[in-house]
């Protein structure tokens, strides 16, 4: 699984995510402690999410979403999303 995680991380455009966060002034944390995460922090957080999917299937934080669906790992950065119903 570690090899698969590294493959996902290497293919993911963390620089682009950081640019979006800077443009939108999207910060992690709250109040005076809020900040835009560095490239390395984004990557570390994404790696932890991907590792956590092994037990939880899907993990989300700070716009990053990691999912393990039948052994296929997926990492996305979500700016907006909408869903309705389940039928």
Q: Which residue has the tokens 């570390």?
A: 44
Sheet harboring 72-77: ordered strands across? Answer: 58-61, 64-69, 72-77
Considering the entire predicted model, what is its pTM?
0.88
* CA-wise closest residue to 65 among 47, 77, 79: 77
**pLDDT number for residue 85:** 83
Q: Average of pLDDT values for 42-54?
A: 95
- DSSP 8-state secondary structure symbol assigned to residue 32: G
- In the structure, what pLDDT confidence band is assigned to residue 82 with cuts at 50, 70 and 90? confident
Higher pLDDT residue, 85 or 10?
Answer: 10
Q: Give the integer Cα–Cα distance in Å for 37 and 62.
A: 10
Tell me the average pLDDT of the chain: 93
- In the structure, what pLDDT confidence band is assigned to residue 1 with cuts at 50, 70 and 90? low
């Amino acid at each position: 699984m570690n090899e698969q995680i590294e493959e996902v991380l290497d293919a993911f455009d963390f620089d682009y995510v950081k640019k979006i966060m800077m443009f939108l002034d999207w910060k992690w944390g709250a109040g005076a402690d809020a900040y835009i995460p560095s490239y390395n922090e984004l990557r570390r957080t994404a790696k932890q999410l991907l590792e956590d999917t092994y037990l939880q299937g899907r993990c989300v934080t700070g716009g990053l979403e990691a999912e393990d669906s039948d052994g296929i790992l997926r990492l996305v950065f979500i700016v907006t999303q909408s869903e309705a119903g389940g039928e």
